[in-house]
Amino acid sequence: MNNKGLISHQLIVVTGGLLLLATIVWLSWPQTLPITDLTLAGSLSSLDNRAPEESGQRAMPQVNTEALGKQGDLAFVSQGLLYVAEGDSGSARALTDSGRATAPAWSHDGEWLAFIRVTAADTDRGPLWLVRRDGSAAHEVQGLPETLWDWSFSWSPTTNQLVVAVHGYGLWLVPTTGQPEQLDPAPWLYRAAWSPDGRYLAYNFCLSGDTPRDDGDHDILCVMDVERRQRFDLVQTDNAGVRLLGWWPDGQGILYWEVPAHGGSVATDGIMIQSVPLAYTQANGSPIITAANTDPVGTMLKRANANSPQPVELVITLPKPHWAKFTANGKLLAVEGGGRIAWTNKHLALIDLKSGKSEQLVGPRGRVMLDPDSSTTDGRIAFVAAPDLGDTWGLTEAEFADWKAKRTLWVRGNKGQLHELTQAGDDIYGPTWSADGTQIRYFSHNALWTIAADNQSAPQQIVDLGPCEGKGIYGSIDYNAYFDWHER
């Protein structure tokens, strides 16, 4: 080979090597999605007469920044894509550009969002993704053994890390960067919950493994000290499952539902919320957490023994977390009533977490009370009221549509007075209070709205989400998987 040929060959080799290196770096670089001003994108798209499919663009949702105002930041899903709208600046951006996102959830500081990117449409399962609020550092979490449901994960209230309950594969801790860590291989987990201070995790597992048997299975309700990776067992059930509701607001106890014989159908008809007070002690310089109502303190509660100390029974409800909230003074506000149909025997109750003493709240005559939320400013309660149809199972499609159309927004004052927010409209779900207590946000007709709590002005639409499919059966429906609020 002459010198020219040798030089040409070397150049080809070097050039090929550089291209290969550049390709590897590009593929390894964290995915960054473009920041999009939704108002500008909407203006530009209006200049293009072609349909979104023809122009290669998906129609952009319009955010009413005036209605959003100072209510905080909103993460929402519209036509499968994830967006963020910022209340202070009025700006909005797209965080994904393909696929179908669901269940967006803010980190405690509002700098990150977690969501599921659905890969199994029949179950709404998929891998967990993380992305910064500005659209950068978007990535699929690697290292988890299985795809997740939308309720499988939750952020720490104090740090940027998540707990993930992976069905059949235990409890995992997921940082925003780096690999997930398995905290406990305990199988058949339902969900986990952080303590308010972020130090502990409450969760359950089934002693028999991945699939409960019918001949006397037990669940264990336990708490893990996250820093020390130490687990404390609190309650052992007798042929029953545990579905965790959460911690007391002050961290001094845990609430859960006990499911007889692990029966999903039984749970759907309503089960008792149990309350376990906790005791925090020290041993050899290390904290120990135990169930407080045991003798001696530290003995695990065993529900098989009716004569032993028991958790405090609070109220029978459907096992739906969005139907159980806390008031500013630490009481449980819940939709009380058995039976899986939402259009009868449902009212609101205030329950003391320690004693179990319950106060049933008087509602509008002839109506059920659903979807409650309590204002942190003065204890007012926003809720949805709808006609009580009695024990009627066979609603036709038209009858069900008529019932949904009569779901209206109400406010209960701190002295028990009732007011209907007549201007809010109908078919209302999931009202929540703004931080200052002046506005109530809600979902209706595929859009998010806000209305003044004094009912003195018409509601404002914040954003139209496009076609939405709620989750739930027999009228107990929510749309929470489409949005999440973060208030600074």
User: What pLDDT, on a 0 to 100 scale, did the predictor assign at position 34?
Assistant: 35
Per-residue pLDDT, averaged over 355-379, amounts to: 97
- Say whether both 452 and 376 belong to one domain: yes
User: What pLDDT, on a 0 to 100 scale, did the predictor assign at position 312?
Assistant: 93
- Say whether both 358 and 394 belong to one domain: yes
Tell whether the model's pLDDT for residue 15 goes beyond 70. no
393-441 pLDDT per residue, tens: 889 999 999 999 999 999 999 899 999 999 999 999 999 999 999 999 9
Residue 21 CB-density burial (10 A; 0-12 exposed, 13-18 middle, 19+ buried): exposed
Per-residue pLDDT, averaged over 448-456, amounts to: 96
- Say whether both 314 and 356 belong to one domain: no
- DSSP H helices, 56-119, are 65-68
**What is the share, in percent, of the chain residues with pLDDT greater than 70?**
85
- Say whether both 341 and 469 belong to one domain: yes
Q: Residue 352: give its domain's CATH number.
A: 2.130.10.10
The position carrying tokens 């942190």 is: 376
- Looking at the domain assignment, is residue 176 inside a domain? no
Can you give the residue range of the structural domain that contains 469? 320-488
Neighbours of 303 (CB within 10 A): 19
- Number of independent structural domains in the chain: 2
User: What pLDDT, on a 0 to 100 scale, did the predictor assign at position 264?
Assistant: 85
Q: Which of 285, 319, 353 is the last residue of a domain?
A: 319
User: What pLDDT, on a 0 to 100 scale, did the predictor assign at position 55?
Assistant: 35
- Looking at the domain assignment, is residue 91 inside a domain? no
User: What pLDDT, on a 0 to 100 scale, did the predictor assign at position 343?
Assistant: 97
- Say whether both 243 and 265 belong to one domain: yes
Per-residue pLDDT, averaged over 144-164, amounts to: 95
- Say whether both 403 and 474 belong to one domain: yes
- Say whether both 211 and 260 belong to one domain: yes
Which pTM was predicted?
Answer: 0.86
Neighbours of 68 (CB within 10 A): 23
Neighbours of 385 (CB within 10 A): 22
- Say whether both 210 and 222 belong to one domain: yes
Q: Both tokens of residue 167?
A: 């069905």
Is residue 276 within 8 A of residue 301, CB to CB? The reply is yes
User: What pLDDT, on a 0 to 100 scale, did the predictor assign at position 375?
Assistant: 97
When pLDDT is cut at 50, 70 and 90, the band that residue 305 belongs to is: low
- Say whether both 439 and 292 belong to one domain: no
d(CA 252, CA 487): 25
55-101 pLDDT per residue, tens: 346 678 999 999 998 899 999 999 999 999 999 888 999 999 999 99
Q: Which of 270, 301, 319 is the last residue of a domain?
A: 319
User: What pLDDT, on a 0 to 100 scale, did the predictor assign at position 244?
Assistant: 95
**Residue type for 4, please?**
K
- Say whether both 242 and 329 belong to one domain: no
When pLDDT is cut at 50, 70 and 90, the band that residue 210 belongs to is: low
- Say whether both 343 and 483 belong to one domain: yes
Tell whether the model's pLDDT for residue 110 goes beyond 60. yes
